[in-house]
Amino acid sequence: MTHLRFRRADPEDAALVQTISAEAYVPAYQPVMGYVPKPAIEDYGKWIKERNVWIAESDGQASGVLVLEPSTDHLMIYSIAVLPRCQGSGLGKALLAFAEDRARTIGVTEMRLYTNRRMERNVALYRAVGFVEVGDRSHPSRPGEVLIDMAKKVRRVGVA
């Protein structure tokens, strides 16, 4: 990953966003969870229309997607997806850093996300970039599954 650029998704990008999401989520979740998670089959048209979807381009090629849901006091990371061929390159961390920049831009002091407890690689990545577990809850549509809620305080520029 030599040159990385982030751009807002346009309506013409809906299929691309869905494809990247499916290619990222299905091989990661299916073996662990035994099912395809919602972000892999989501219709991102509404999210794109609301200007909440970002595409990461690495060396001119779309390689990741970030779906954000702004709120008055926090920024929810609804989905983060990196193509399998780009995983391990630091793109996931770059997308999370970009989300933090967006949080600063909209003036909130916290980012939030959630993931399935069994997705240990996801949890490890989020912890590595400063997210902490703030609770857990039953999955609303998958009995027996547990979601972990995580949060990270947004650092102000120039403040450690």
| Average pLDDT of the residues in 1-8 | 85
pLDDT score for 5: 94
Which residues make Cβ contacts (< 8 Å) with residue 85, sequence separation at least 6? 63
DSSP character string of 88-99: TTTHHHHHHHHH
Rounded Cα distance, 113 and 115, in Å:
7
Task: Indicate whether 21 pLDDT > 70.
Answer: yes
Candidates 67, 92, 69, 93; CA nearest to 82 is 92
pLDDT score for 2: 66
pLDDT tens digits, 79-128? 999 999 988 888 999 999 999 999 999 999 999 999 988 888 889 989 99
Rounded Cα distance, 69 and 104, in Å:
14
pLDDT score for 59: 86
pLDDT tens digits, 134-160? 998 888 888 888 889 999 999 876 554
pLDDT score for 28: 83
pLDDT score for 110: 96
pLDDT score for 75: 96
pLDDT tens digits, 33-60? 778 888 888 899 999 999 999 999 988 8
Structural domains of the chain, with CATH? 4-153 (3.40.630.30)
Q: Confidence band (pLDDT; 50, 70, 90) for 16?
A: very high
